[in-house]
């Protein structure tokens, strides 16, 4: 309340505030940056904003008519007192993705930060994709991370609508924007394989599924899209390395796409952002059905 930032904390780290503290007035008030679109907080924007926390004076400009009654906040402009730079305009510039013009503007998978899933016991994960059940694996993320993915998905759709409808042939391991035929929406992808027939194999990095996509449905990746990768592959403990059709069918029933799964334990492997998850209830139900 006194700083305005949000964070996720464990319940055991929270304590009831004494009345003498809870009755003190709040001096940090939220504002809305005037003429700045509601966009995803990229790493570039965050670093730019954080640079003004180190003793740099910022002037806040607003008028009485800038007050938004329905939200109870003011729309303001932030001005650097030393340089007179308008921070609002700078954020708008940083938030607007542009189609790469130079052939040197190529983003590979290393361009993006890979977020880690929490390790430990009694952890809830969201199933982003279950199409690799035959190998005993699913792709998962956390609830907060799933919210972040939904936010920047909107930015992706807006970006594709404003650029030319020109296909693109990505290199191996290159990042790209890809159309998914099942729903007609655009997603972030990583080119896994190029065979020269115009149909590269693409990994949808925010969900975990793999598909063959024609180059007409692929666009170049803008450097402004620095959203981290929030999804990781998880191996379900107790399953065989190769699951037959009956096991896969039952797993798809027990662990549907988009479901929340409770893991007794999540363990990270040392490399490649791969995890092992323990779900004994699922293994027991497979055993009762005579599938294991």
The string of pLDDT tens digits covering residues 155-166 is 899 999 999 999
Task: Examine the fold and report which residue of 62, 95, 128 is the final residue of a domain before the chain moves on.
Answer: 95
Based on the domain organization, do 227 and 150 belong to the same domain?
A: yes
SS3 of 207-272: the string is CCCEEECCHHHEEECCCCCCCCECCEEEEECCCCCCCCHHHHHHHHHHCCCCCEEEEEEEEECCCC
Quick one: the chain helix, strand, coil %, rounded to 5?
A: 25, 25, 45
Q: What's the confidence (pLDDT) of residue 68?
A: 87
Based on the domain organization, do 214 and 182 belong to the same domain?
A: yes
The answer to whether 208 and 190 have CB atoms below 8 angstroms apart is no
Q: Which residues on neighbouring strands pair with residue 278, listed in sequence order?
A: 265
Based on the domain organization, do 57 and 129 belong to the same domain?
A: no
Which residue do the tokens 């329905």 mark? 70
Based on the domain organization, do 82 and 195 belong to the same domain?
A: no
Q: Is residue 55 part of a domain?
A: yes
Based on the domain organization, do 209 and 125 belong to the same domain?
A: yes
Q: Is residue 105 part of a domain?
A: no
Q: What's the confidence (pLDDT) of residue 221?
A: 95
Based on the domain organization, do 173 and 251 belong to the same domain?
A: yes
Q: Is residue 100 part of a domain?
A: no
Burial level of 206, CB count in 10 A (0-12/13-18/19+)?
buried
User: What's the rounded Cα separation, in Å, for the pair 134 and 154?
Assistant: 32
189-207 mean pLDDT = 94
Q: Please say if the pLDDT value at position 261 is more than 70.
A: yes
The beta-strand segments (E) located in 16-165 are: 32-33, 58-61, 67-68, 73-80, 120-129, 137-141
Q: Is residue 5 part of a domain?
A: no
User: What's the rounded Cα separation, in Å, for the pair 142 and 184?
Assistant: 25
100-121 mean pLDDT = 88
Residue 71: CB partners within 8 Å, gap ≥ 6?
A: 32
User: What's the rounded Cα separation, in Å, for the pair 290 and 193?
Assistant: 38
Per-residue pLDDT of 75-92, as tens digits, reads 999 999 889 999 999 888
CATH number, domain of 130, equals 2.30.30.140
This prediction's pTM:
0.74
Q: What's the confidence (pLDDT) of residue 43?
A: 74
Residue 189: C-alpha distances to residues 114, 151, 213, 228 (Å) = 14, 17, 10, 13
- In degrees, rounded to 5, the angle at the alpha carbon of residue 279 between the alpha carbons of residues 153 and 282 is 100
**How does residue 272 score in pLDDT terms, banded at 50, 70 and 90?**
low
Residue 195: CB partners within 8 Å, gap ≥ 6?
A: 201
The residue with greater pLDDT, 32 or 126, is 126
User: CA nearest 177: which of 274, 165, 257?
Assistant: 165
What residues make up the domain containing 152?
110-291
Based on the domain organization, do 129 and 89 belong to the same domain?
A: no
165-186 mean pLDDT = 95
Based on the domain organization, do 159 and 250 belong to the same domain?
A: yes
User: What's the rounded Cα separation, in Å, for the pair 14 and 206?
Assistant: 32
257-269 mean pLDDT = 94
DSSP letter at 117 equals P
User: What's the rounded Cα separation, in Å, for the pair 127 and 270?
Assistant: 22
Q: What is the mean pLDDT of the chain?
A: 90
- Between 280-288 and 245-254, two packed helices, what is the crossing angle to 10 degrees? 130
Task: Examine the fold and report which residue of 64, 95, 126 is the final residue of a domain before the chain moves on.
Answer: 95
3-state secondary structure of 203: strand
Q: Please say if the pLDDT value at position 271 is more than 70.
A: no
Strands 201-204 and 210-212: antiparallel
**How does residue 40 score in pLDDT terms, banded at 50, 70 and 90?**
low
Q: Is residue 3 part of a domain?
A: no
């Amino acid at each position: 309340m006194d700083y305005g930032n949000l964070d996720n904390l464990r319940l055991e780290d929270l304590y009831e505030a004494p009345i003498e503290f809870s009755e003190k007035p709040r001096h940090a008030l939220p504002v809305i940056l005037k003429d700045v679109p509601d966009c995803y907080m990229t790493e570039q924007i965050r670093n730019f904003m954080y640079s003004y926390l180190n003793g740099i004076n910022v002037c806040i400009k607003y008028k009485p008519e800038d007050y938004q009654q329905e939200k109870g906040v003011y729309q303001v402009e932030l001005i650097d007192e030393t340089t007179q730079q308008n921070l609002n305009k700078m954020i708008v510039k940083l938030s607007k993705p542009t189609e790469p013009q130079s052939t040197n503007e190529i983003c590979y998978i290393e361009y993006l930060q890979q977020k880690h899933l929490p390790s430990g016991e009694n952890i809830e994960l969201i199933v982003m994709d279950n199409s690799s059940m035959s190998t005993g694996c699913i792709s998962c993320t956390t609830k907060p991370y799933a919210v972040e993915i939904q936010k920047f998905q909107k930015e992706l759709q807006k970006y594709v609508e404003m650029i030319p409808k020109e296909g693109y042939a990505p290199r191996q391991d290159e990042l790209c924007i890809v159309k998914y035929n099942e729903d007609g929406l655009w997603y972030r992808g990583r080119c896994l394989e190029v065979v020269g027939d115009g149909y590269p194999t693409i990994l949808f990095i925010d969900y975990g599924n793999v598909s063959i996509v024609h180059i007409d449905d692929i666009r170049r990746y803008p450097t402004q899209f620095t959203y981290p990768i929030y999804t990781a592959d998880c191996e379900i403990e107790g399953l065989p390395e190769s699951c037959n059709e009956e096991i896969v069918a039952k797993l798809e029933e027990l662990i549907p796409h988009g479901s929340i799964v409770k893991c007794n334990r999540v363990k990270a492997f040392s490399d490649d952002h791969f995890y092992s998850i323990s779900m004994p209830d699922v293994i027991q139900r497979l055993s009762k059905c005579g599938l294991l």
